[in-house]
Chain A
């Protein structure tokens, strides 16, 4: 079942005289329960793509359907409502509120639903234990490590069981141990709950945790790799190879 369908999306910045095309008629389709990575060099438009897909930014042209709903034509209020209930977010810079404890940060998306406190508590316990942060639930963000912050952010993204989780360079600010820790948890959650995850990254190790990697170059899809039944190590080598081809600057002889 296709959960996200983007067709011919264009995104341009600037005005009439100084136009910069970031996305140039990109097509994308993502199945339910997939763990997809989007890779590309700096400036290739991968973060813009994520922002557009997650309704934070608006497309200039084209259509995006999530669970059959066209989101490009929604009003701001509807969009906010949609994000609240259907989408989850993990960002590179954690985006936790400093004035809230870990638990309060995680429960934030649930406060707008009419969920009973008991159910909310249960969900919280489950998510926090899955991500190994239950013990630090009463600490403030500035008292915990980067890895713990990012797992808190992940727990917040999962707690309301959204249709899609968008992750923008989630491992960008983490050391390698915390990074692989987080990615393991993400892929576990992906399998356990059949959560759909779309992750933007420039780190091939991070990408190798996903089931499919989409390479973007100059605002268009360059190629795709499917993990299939391969072990992670071989998939990682494939990703590296493709990235090598993609990242190289072509010299004209």
Chain B
């Protein structure tokens, strides 16, 4: 057999074994290529007018390369170790090391650059799809066209060629270092030596769980008022990060085997086949893979967390716009409003106009606040709040001497929690008006311009309002004290009205706002973030899933003798497979569950900074991630099935 034939034989065999590696390679190449194509796509300029699209995508493509190269290098170490025996055999029959290296390089070259070309082809054909997705999530109306960028092609080739060189360098070092004997031993030394659970391990195991839980605990307290200075907050965040990551590592190092050991002890030697294959195997394996699993768990937690948060922002865009713009359109001066209403009437769009006069007044609201204000550098005795008359608001009747607050966001509620009732004072220039605070209404009646971006407005009786108005402090008044809200009667005409609004070209200084416009702008921004984080997360998911799968492949081959024994003893393939399913549930389920738990607590601690709705977006992201992830678990069960079938 000539060397050429040898290479092709190996290639054929490897393709069968490592189809998932080839798949992951093709997947990451095509994703990278599509990203780079996007970067050079003229269509993106449309999107760029309102956001820094290309910069974001460039950063994403760098991160993508980082993830992919770590994955490829790691996968390569797994593969070269598995082929140790073969390399030893070549040496034994008298091939020189450099010759073996050349054979391996040639083999890898075909495999690698073959997938690279396929990947680029696929990337080219999906780049249109990706642009369409991007336009869809950012709500840009543009036609995506298929566009081949030679620039992107060359960049992809260069980047992956560099990675290939690195892989070759690794192989070279591996081959150079090994003697014939060592190559034969490689598999037996690489993994697992069974030892008793020691006291040390129990300590490590408990410490891991305690660290994770304390990290979770601090994260739930993060924004509840216990940490009020930036320094405290920062320290608390560092603490959470460190304790959770170290805790995760110790969890895999000790806790899993510690917990499983307790279960085993309970059984007193009477283990069912199911437990033999799952518990006893995993408790030794997790330990040796602790580092890898910690990285996978942490990064997937990061991916899920970021994805959830960006989706929360995206999802909450409309609600956020509602809080900021009280009405479909809002204006702060009569002329702008008149210009807009005129064009509305001209187009035959029915609307309803509200005018509210807003005064700014200094208020003492110390009695009704829960928070500790010293640290927030705000004095609750001297806070500027907007004040409006009850007559300006529909369906409300406030008796003289009393007040109701309207409009608050979840974010504000976290920092300033209002009590149910209490006494406050509103000061005009020369006197203080004592008022009884009756409660808080959630909806905003005036726009963000008057509420300083989310403070509640005090609604008072007309008489109290007039008292204030006569003696108002001109220093703290805003440029405009007139809010004009315009609501359409038919929501279906909103798009058209928004178009009219756009045509009038208001500038930012006019403080004329369209709710739809703000919501769309938010969606555009968060859509891009979501798009990038989503694809990065997907790449990470695929690569980490592949790595776990390769690990399982290795394990299944190492455990093959065990399956032979068990089948000789009279356990059927189905018995074994049932046990394996349990094992895979743990092998893939534990990192997933821990990752989900981490991201859950991360999202819970700070979601209100990003939006107004947490459950739906978070659950959607988590379910999607778990579903895609479990595909790899299922694939590994299928691989085990093959191994078990061949075992006898």
- Spell out A's residues near B (CB within 8 Å): 56, 76-77, 80-85, 87, 89, 91, 95-101, 103-104, 106-112, 117, 120-121, 124, 137, 140-142, 156
Contact = CB atoms under 8 A, between A and B. Distances in A.
Interface stretch (B88-96, B176-184, B265-273): B265-273
Interface string B548-582: 00000000000001101111111111110000000
Contact of A87 (B268, B271, B272, B570): B570
Interface residues of B, number: 31
B284 interface: yes
Contacts of A104: 264, 269, 271, 276, 280
Contacts of A141: 194
Contacts, number: 88
A84 B570 contact: yes
Contacts of B564: 95
Given A95-B561, A104-B276, A141-B194, 6 more contacts: A80-B571, A83-B568, A87-B570, A104-B269, A109-B570, A137-B269
Top 8 nearest A-B pairs (CB, nearest first) are A84-B570, A83-B570, A103-B269, A99-B280, A80-B572, A95-B565, A111-B272, A140-B194
15 contacts: A80-B572, A84-B570, A84-B571, A85-B570, A97-B566, A98-B562, A100-B280, A101-B269, A103-B269, A104-B269, A106-B269, A109-B570, A111-B270, A124-B269, A140-B194
Most buried by B among A104, A124, A142: A104
B16 interface: no
Contacts of A111: 270-273
A95 B567 CA distance: 11
B605 to A, nearest CB: 39
B284 A99 contact: yes
Nearest to B283: A99
A121 B269 CA distance: 9
Interface of B: 193-196, 264, 268-273, 276, 280-281, 283-284, 561-562, 564-575, 648
B268 to A, nearest CB: 7
A98 B565 contact: no
Interface of B, helix, strand, loop or mixed by DSSP? helix
B270 A98 contact: no
Contacts of A100: 271, 276, 280
Most buried by A among B194, B272, B567, B573: B194
A172 B264 CA distance: 33
Contacts of A106: 269
Contact of A89 (B193, B270, B272, B568): B568
Nearest to B272: A111
Contact of B572 (A56, A76, A110, A124): A76
B450 to A, nearest CB: 69
A89 B280 contact: no
B567 A80 contact: yes
Contacts of B281: 99
A97 B648 CA distance: 16
A87 B571 CA distance: 12
A80 B563 CA distance: 13
Contacts of B284: 99
Most buried by B among A87, A96, A99: A99
Contacts of A140: 194-196
A89 B569 contact: yes
Nearest to A79: B570
B569 A108 contact: yes
Contacts of B573: 76
B424 to A, nearest CB: 69
Contacts of B561: 95
A118 B270 CA distance: 11
